[in-house]
Amino acid sequence: MSLETKQREQWGSRVAFILAAAGSAVGLGNIWRFPYVVGTNGGAAFVIIYLFIIALIGYPMMVTEMAIGQKTKRNAIGAFRDLAPNTPWWVAGALGVLAGFVILSFYSVVAGWTLSYFFKTLAGDLGVGTDFVGTFIGHITSDWAPLFWHFVFMGLTLGIIGLGVVKGIEKTVKILMPALFVLLIALVGRALTLPGAGAGVEFLIKPDFSKITAQSILGAVGQAFFTLSLGMGCMITYGSYLDDKENINDNAAWVVGLDTAVALIAGFAIFPAVFALGFDPAAGGGLAFITLPAVFASMPGGTIFGAAFFLLLAVAALTSAISLLEVVVAYYIDEKGWSRQKASLIIGTLIFILGIPASLSMGRWSGFTILGYNFFDFLDFLQESILLPVGGLLTAIFAGYVWSAKKTREHSNINKSAIRLGTWFDVLIMYVSPIAVSVVMVTGLVDKLK
């Protein structure tokens, strides 16, 4: 059914919107990526810089994307068309839709690993004496197992999106988000009571600024966009289902606050355990799949806590994946008049297909490279270095200069809210965000391509 015959869905309540948007933000980015980025960038000093970036760039960009969605009630591309008809600004939204498509294809592969690790841990396959590096490499380089779990994960994602905003997304996040918080708190409790956990806490709260390099600042900006689901159309799309009576400012603060809290709590669940058991905090992307299983294997109650951890990762990934698929599906529903079921099935299947070479590029197809990257890393490079920064930059310029900072601010200030946007918002959206994002993008690209 097209827009003319069917009313656009709306979130059932303010809490539903906050949980859905926080569900989008909180994902592999918080629990898998944040700890390892902190670990490889020296700990507390990086966390402090990251918090500044979240406040100065993350929050204003979150407000902006939600405001664009709420104001226009359109998908990411339609929203820009609506605010600036007959101009090429729709390209900013198109980058978001493309980012949603590309990110989900490899995000689902990683989410599949977490599902598989959940069952492996539960079955006791990751006990003391396991070769954790070998097991991980063996898993991701094999043909069928990762593809099977990628298939299962994409199936869940498209099933939920096929059900719709209220019956699918809202119902799912209302159950899974509270479950996620409970699991996370249980894990922190376990980690902090391990003997020797103090060193991990110290790593997160005692800054050593000599460890900060230009690269770590770039890393912090990239992490902020990824973790807050900015530049990928998610917050525009979710904002488009938000009633006009709802305020943006406080809701955006809740989402940014919850996302940041989960990342920090995940850090407090992981580093105390890593330090208590003498592992390397700078293990990189393998932290969650190599170091942590080793940690779990060597601690009392490890099977249960290990399984809980991977379940937590999978749940967080699912509430993010649905928001990425919704970005693309909403476009086909709004602009092409497709039914929700048709759009979910077709787009979900195409994303699954794009994920196949991403998964196989870890093993059988590792010889195939683009710009020196295997296919998985190429997709990651594409989103991190091009799609998100260019999309984010265009969105900031659009809000600051085309729709105008004043109008963006006035729209966000319409309803009663505890936080009021003042001219400080104009400065952040017109100067701070675009300049910071441009510098990060150019420096990052020069560094990567040299």
Report the interface residues with ligand ILE, using CB under 6 A: 24-25, 27-30, 103, 107, 226-227, 229, 320, 323-324
Query: Smallest distance, Å, CB 222 to ligand ILE?
Result: 11
Query: Smallest distance, Å, CB 228 to ligand ILE?
Result: 6
Mapping DSSP to helix (H, G, I), strand (E, B) and coil, where does residue 218 land? helix
Count of C-beta atoms within a 10 Å radius of residue 361: 25
Query: Using CB atoms, what's the residue nearest to ligand ILE?
Result: 29
Nearer to ligand ILE, 45 or 258 (CB): 258
Nearer to ligand ILE, 320 or 413 (CB): 320
* Degrees to nearest 5, angle at CA 122 with 119 and 124: 110
Query: Smallest distance, Å, CB 422 to ligand ILE?
Result: 28
Nearer to ligand ILE, 107 or 289 (CB): 107
Q: What is the C-alpha to C-alpha distance for residues 91 and 93, in angstroms, rounded to an integer?
A: 5
Nearer to ligand ILE, 31 or 276 (CB): 31
Query: Smallest distance, Å, CB 101 to ligand ILE?
Result: 12
Mapping DSSP to helix (H, G, I), strand (E, B) and coil, where does residue 370 land? strand
Nearer to ligand ILE, 30 or 121 (CB): 30
> If we measure between CA atoms, which residue out of 225, 285, 208, 282 comes closest to residue 444?
225
Query: Smallest distance, Å, CB 143 to ligand ILE?
Result: 26
Count of C-beta atoms within a 10 Å radius of residue 424: 12
Query: Smallest distance, Å, CB 199 to ligand ILE?
Result: 27
Nearer to ligand ILE, 114 or 359 (CB): 114
| C-alpha distance from residue 210 to each of 43, 280, 319 (Å) | 11, 19, 37
Q: What is the C-alpha to C-alpha distance for residues 348 and 325, in angstroms, rounded to an integer?
A: 7
Contact between 347 and 141 (Cβ < 8 Å): no
Q: What is the C-alpha to C-alpha distance for residues 374 and 357, in angstroms, rounded to an integer?
A: 9
Contact between 368 and 375 (Cβ < 8 Å): yes
